[in-house]
Structure 1
């Protein structure tokens, strides 16, 4: 990428986006003046009705309208009406007189500027409220696609912006340069206004024609509060502009030292989280793998139960008991098969558990054989169909007889 001079220095970021020089005292005083003093009206009235509106002479204006010599919608060579002049000069009484005489409340001049835009531009609060109460459209756009809210943002006036939002001003309308009010606030370094719009629910994921989003503009002005707020609100940390640069790269390559630290810490936190999540996912996969019967950890790992298996009580030590089948309420061949499977499980488990204790093996095996013979005799004496109670007693007796001594 070819290097060019920006502000007398060689650029470090594309088009010098983050090579912003620090403001000196003169710049600071100029900004304070623009905030405290609204713009002076540039409208110079030439027609009599426009002069009466600018000077606030309500009686004269009403007389002109009543005599029919002048219309409330008369325009000058720049297509401005009396309502434009009244709003530009802050004449609230004139605005009310014109509205009572059915003037065009959304009349546009040669630049498609409405009286509401002119009232916002000149900080005439009374005119703004009067126009909005009478149905002025806050979402009309001038020739550059700016709405009244764009004007309020450019003037850095939160009071007017709040009033416009109360009357359904759209925060997501883009002007011809692709800037929503929020993006415009960040572009012009109106950080407090940007915070206000974010709190009001403005979309933080918007970007301009160069694909520079809100986070990139916050990094450009090295606004640590705004960067933190956008990250907390879930802005895309990895978003890239048309040059393929992320906010972190702009912060590293540019002059935004405060934002650099915040973004680097955030990047480290994301890397750590992704690493922990991947390890947790891997461990969870390992736990789901089938254990070998010789694995010591497999004793406490029980296979998934089907609809015929018991749910063990949490207080029981499942490592001491062989897995047994629940008796079914329905009688038939399925019950006998479940019984045989359960007996097989008991035998295998008892053999493995008693191999290491020969002294106990003999006693337990004898008890097991006696119990088995007694049960066979009682089974032959009874009916071929097992009841639920007899099967529960058999499983209980078997499990008691094969328990290892502790």
Structure 2
């Protein structure tokens, strides 16, 4: 009886979505506190000094630091057992005056501790934007990676600080740098539900079409956290909601099975696209489809001159038997109004269209489109 009860209590529910990606409620509201983050608090580890010199740096005692350096008791680049230098501690505890002093004393600006973290990373972890700026102006490398394969911009994502990310990108930070798991800053921001950072990266040229190791797209991650505004932005910028991950799931399928509100955003976007693509099939005079004309494929990339008067249709004759067919008769070519074209970006232009060939010629040369 007891063993049966234990089994019932210990059994886990089968995930509704692959690996539980969209299971449970979506916490759409973003928080800065790591308590609400989906991952373990990576910055809660103690960063305590192990000697008198580093302790004075941590406490911001400038005079004590100067005295210890002048007496030659300690060197500016002395490391403790964790390979941490005084600059690591000064950046982590936000003492910008000590940062200036240590840089003046020619300390190692890109020193690595035992986790391969740089002083720049420690300043980012503590949200010290002013210190970040000072380090970058003195030549700190923003693209060094720690033991987790994460660069400074990834740490800026974890703390959700677009202002820090802006400084890093200004000084050569890579907006497409990947972690060991292959996550770009944008994918990482969406995975960690850092929507403010995600929005910044989207508007500053980040690649929207990247995928994680399971081929999950940026749109799928936005659906996971039910972030409607980001889903709408990604759809408008051309992220395909029909793409499938390695489990065969699409973003819409995740939204439906996860009971996300974003499913309506995707559906409405799909309906809008369908209306735009079907605009040219309206029953109007001289309708292209009803009259049997086909768009010439090359006209989609080389558009004609813009038409000013949309009330009239112009016709022209062209002998293109070599490219269209070998019949004795010339093939009729007309200009078609762009409002009938399914491509919205070309609606201010007219395109070439050709009258279809007889079936006997189509069987020989193939359909002209």
Q: TM-score, normalised by structure 1?
A: 0.63
User: What displacement does 1:302 show?
Assistant: 7.5
| RMSD after superposition | 3.5
Does structure 1 conserve the Cα–Cα contact (< 8 Å) formed by 2:26 and 2:226?
no
User: What displacement does 1:57 show?
Assistant: 2.0
Structure 1: gaps (5+ residues): 289-299, 307-406
User: What displacement does 1:116 show?
Assistant: 0.5
Paired residue for 1:249, among 253, 274, 277?
A: 253
User: What displacement does 1:268 show?
Assistant: 2.6
Write the deviation string for residues 119-172 of structure 1: whole angstroms up to 9, x where unpaired: 100112232121111111111111111111111111112222222223222110
Where do residues 183-198 of structure 1 align in structure 2 (5 Å cutoff)?
A: 183-198=187-202
User: What displacement does 1:106 show?
Assistant: 0.5
User: What displacement does 1:79 show?
Assistant: 0.8
2:229 pairs with 1:216? no
Equivalence for 1:332: none
Does structure 2 conserve the Cα–Cα contact (< 8 Å) formed by 1:215 and 1:235?
yes
Paired residue for 1:261, among 257, 260, 264?
A: 264
Return the alpha-carbon distance in structure 1 between the equivalents of residues 96 and 123 of structure 2: 10
Where do residues 315-334 of structure 1 align in structure 2 (5 Å cutoff)?
A: none
User: What displacement does 1:196 show?
Assistant: 1.3
Equivalence for 1:80: 84
User: What displacement does 1:54 show?
Assistant: 1.0
Does structure 2 conserve the Cα–Cα contact (< 8 Å) formed by 1:41 and 1:88?
no
SS of structure 1 residue aligned to 2:317: coil
Higher relative contact order (CA 8 A, sep 6+): 2
User: What displacement does 1:282 show?
Assistant: 4.5
User: What displacement does 1:31 show?
Assistant: 5.9
C-alpha spacing 1:105/1:281, structure 2 compared with 1 (3 Å):
farther
2:106 pairs with 1:93? no
Paired residue for 1:172, among 170, 176, 200?
A: 176
Count of aligned residue pairs for this structure pair = 288
2:75 pairs with 1:62? no
2:317 pairs with 1:304? yes
Does structure 1 conserve the Cα–Cα contact (< 8 Å) formed by 2:28 and 2:225?
no
C-alpha spacing 1:202/1:281, structure 2 compared with 1 (3 Å):
farther
Q: TM-score, normalised by structure 2?
A: 0.69
SS of structure 2 residue aligned to 1:231: helix
Return the alpha-carbon distance in structure 2 between the equivalents of residues 177 and 277 of structure 1: 45
Range that drifts further, 118-127 or 267-276 = 267-276
Equivalence for 2:138: 134
SS of structure 1 residue aligned to 2:175: coil
